[in-house]
């Protein structure tokens, strides 16, 4: 048996009760497991509804040996959150499986109960998908992670040489700055490297409203965006692009966010607001939230684990340090999670109460 604390990618998928099932064919095992799960769920629901369950049995943790499946979406910061939470669950005796899943694809799994605890969904990139998932009634909103996320136009520090006056946005209007930032595809206008179009950053609207001489070039994916960005930074090419925080890119490379007229709701709703009296979107981006999500059906199976997830909170400073430790110091994410748990018992022990 693999000890629960050792983090190995495949020990994550280790189930419980394997020994009892070993002599059957795998098909039978799966059928029996499914039936057992159904019976357990129905039984639990009936018992809870009737209030017939004795108090001590309900309080027993873990309530079920069924593995809880946590989403791993591949980014260091998000993975560390899921690792810390999962390792805390293991301390309570739960069986945990960390399952790879796509950031947006995870919602289909959370809806059906194939995945149980979602990787935090960001307002900035998954607003529509979050809403659609919550609307099905099968995905729970477990509250804010406590880390405000920032996303906006960002530049590496050396861009200040060609666009003096940054971080103030007016510096982007200078002809010399526009010329330095232009490429063949956009010439004579400057190039703004944005994220996938579906992230909805209102870049074009902002460019029009503030009279900037920029063309928006959309990267089709986060991978392409960072590849283009980092390659430009490495050859010291002037570039302004879309980035967010907490994230490894602004952690790894020195740079700043452009400073716009600060966001207010009125800026997006009311054209009269802001520097341009005729158009909306003449301001920076609102900061967003990171939302914790989970499969609704798990509430009845692992109430304690769900309570821990609701209580789970990290702040931006901590998150930044964890990402730094992983991406700049090059420490494996599992180790980063272990270190944090070892050093911060005072923070996490209340979550387990």
Partner 1 sequence: MARAGAFPIGHAALAVAAILAVGLALAPGALPWATAYPAAWVVPFDAWIGEGARWLTREAAIGPFLVKDLTRAVGAVVEAPVVLLQDLLVKGFAIGGVSVGPVSWLGVGALFTCLGLAARDSRLAAFAALTCAYAALLGLWDSAMMTLALVLVAVVYGVLAGVILGVLAFRTARFRAVVDPVLDFMQTVPVFGYLVPAILLSGYGPAAALLITLIYAVPPMARVTTNALQQTDPEIVDLGRMVGCSPGQVLRRVLLPSQRPRLMLGVNQVIMLTLNMVIIASMIGAAGLGYDVWQALKSLHIGKGAEAGIAITLLAILLDRLSQRFGALRPDHHGHARPFIHRHRWVLVGVGLALASTALGVVVPAVARFPADWTVTSGRFWDGVVDWINIHGYDAISVVRDSLFLYVLRPLKEGLLALPWLGVAGFVAVLGWALGGARLALLGGVLTAFIALAGQWEKAMISLYLVAVAALLASLVGVPLGFITARHPRLRRIAEPVVDTLQTLPSFVYLIPTVMLFSVGDFSALVAVVLYAVAPAIRYTDAAVRQVPAAAIEAARAFGATRAQLDCRVVLPLALPDIVLGLNQTLMLAISMLVITALVGTRDLGQETLIALSKSDPGQGLVAGVCVAFIAIVADRLLRAWIARRRARLGLEP
Site for partner 1, rule CB under 8 A: 1-2, 8-11, 13-14, 18-19, 22-23, 25-27, 29-31, 34, 69, 74-76, 99-102, 104-105, 107-109, 111-112, 114-115, 126, 128-129, 132-133, 183-185, 193, 196-199, 217-228, 230-232, 234-235, 248, 327
Q: What whole-number distance in Å separates Cα of residue 342 and Cα of residue 353?
A: 18
Q: What is the 3-state secondary structure (H, E, C) of 65-117?
A: CCCEEEEECCCHHHHHHHHHHHHHHHHCCCCEEEEECCCCCHHHHHHHCCCCE
User: CB of 336: closest distance to partner 1 in angstroms?
Assistant: 14
- Close Cβ partners of 34 (under 8 Å, ≥ 6 residues apart): none
- CA atoms within a 13 Å half-sphere pointing along the CA-CB vector of 244: 23
Q: In this complex, which beta carbon is closest to partner 1, that of residue 76 or of residue 243? A: 76
Q: In this complex, which beta carbon is closest to partner 1, that of residue 10 or of residue 278? A: 10
Say which residue the tokens 């530049």 belong to: 155
Contact 280, 112 (CB under 8 A): no
* Backbone φ and ψ of 273, nearest 5°: -65, 145
Residues recorded for the chain: 353
Say which residue the tokens 């928006």 belong to: 216
Q: In this complex, which beta carbon is closest to partner 1, that of residue 165 or of residue 220? A: 220
Q: What whole-number distance in Å separates Cα of residue 325 and Cα of residue 68?
A: 27
User: CB of 47: closest distance to partner 1 in angstroms?
Assistant: 23
Q: In this complex, which beta carbon is closest to partner 1, that of residue 94 or of residue 242? A: 242
Q: In this complex, which beta carbon is closest to partner 1, that of residue 185 or of residue 345? A: 185
Report the alpha-carbon angle 160-149-249, nearest 5: 50
Question: How many of the other CB atoms lie within 10 Å of CB of 175?
Answer: 9
Q: In this complex, which beta carbon is closest to partner 1, that of residue 59 or of residue 197? A: 197
Question: How many of the other CB atoms lie within 10 Å of CB of 72?
Answer: 21
User: CB of 262: closest distance to partner 1 in angstroms?
Assistant: 28
User: CB of 75: closest distance to partner 1 in angstroms?
Assistant: 6
Q: What whole-number distance in Å separates Cα of residue 191 and Cα of residue 153?
A: 12
User: CB of 237: closest distance to partner 1 in angstroms?
Assistant: 8
Q: In this complex, which beta carbon is closest to partner 1, that of residue 116 or of residue 304? A: 116
164: helix, strand or coil: coil
Sheet with 190-194: list strands edge to edge.
214-218, 190-194, 240-245, 150-156, 255-257
User: CB of 74: closest distance to partner 1 in angstroms?
Assistant: 5
User: CB of 179: closest distance to partner 1 in angstroms?
Assistant: 16
Q: In this complex, which beta carbon is closest to partner 1, that of residue 102 or of residue 315? A: 102
User: CB of 85: closest distance to partner 1 in angstroms?
Assistant: 19
Structure tokens at 33: 């497991």
Residue 100's DSSP bridge partners are: 72
Q: In this complex, which beta carbon is closest to partner 1, that of residue 179 or of residue 228? A: 228
User: CB of 148: closest distance to partner 1 in angstroms?
Assistant: 22
């Amino acid at each position: 048996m693999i000890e629960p604390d050792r983090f190995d990618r495949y020990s994550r998928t280790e189930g419980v009760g394997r020994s009892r099932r070993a002599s059957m064919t795998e098909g039978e095992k799966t059928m029996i497991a499914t039936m057992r799960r159904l019976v357990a769920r129905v039984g639990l629901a009936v018992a809870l509804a009737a209030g017939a369950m004795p108090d001590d049995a309900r309080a027993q943790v873990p309530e079920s040996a069924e593995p809880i499946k946590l989403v791993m979406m591949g980014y260091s910061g998000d993975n560390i959150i899921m690792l810390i939470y999962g390792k805390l669950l293991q301390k309570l005796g739960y069986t945990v499986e960390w399952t790879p899943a796509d950031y947006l694809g995870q919602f289909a799994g959370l809806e059906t109960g194939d995945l149980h605890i979602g990787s935090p969904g960001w307002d900035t990139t998954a607003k529509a998908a979050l809403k659609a998932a919550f609307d099905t009634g099968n995905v729970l909103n477990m509250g804010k992670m406590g880390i405000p996320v920032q996303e906006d136009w960002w530049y590496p520090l050396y861009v200040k040489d060609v666009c003096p006056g940054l971080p103030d946005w007016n510096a982007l209007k200078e002809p010399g700055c526009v010329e330095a930032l232009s490429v063949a595809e956009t010439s004579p206008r400057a190039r703004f490297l944005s994220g996938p179009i579906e992230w909805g950053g209102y870049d074009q609207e902002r460019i029009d409203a503030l009279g900037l001489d920029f063309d928006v070039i959309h990267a089709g994916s986060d991978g392409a965006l960072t590849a283009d960005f980092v390659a430009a930074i490495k050859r010291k090419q002037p570039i302004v692009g879309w980035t967010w925080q907490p994230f490894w890119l602004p952690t790894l490379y020195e740079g700043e966010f452009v400073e716009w007229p600060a966001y207010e709701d009125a800026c997006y709703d009311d054209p009269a607001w802001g520097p341009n009296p005729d158009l909306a979107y003449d301001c920076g981006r609102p900061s967003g939230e990171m939302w914790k999500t989970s499969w609704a059906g798990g509430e009845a199976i692992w109430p304690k684990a769900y309570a821990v997830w609701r209580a789970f909170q990290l702040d931006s400073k901590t998150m930044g340090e964890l990402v730094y430790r992983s991406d700049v110091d090059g420490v494996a994410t599992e180790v980063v999670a272990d270190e944090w748990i070892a050093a911060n018992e005072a923070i996490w022990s209340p979550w387990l109460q």
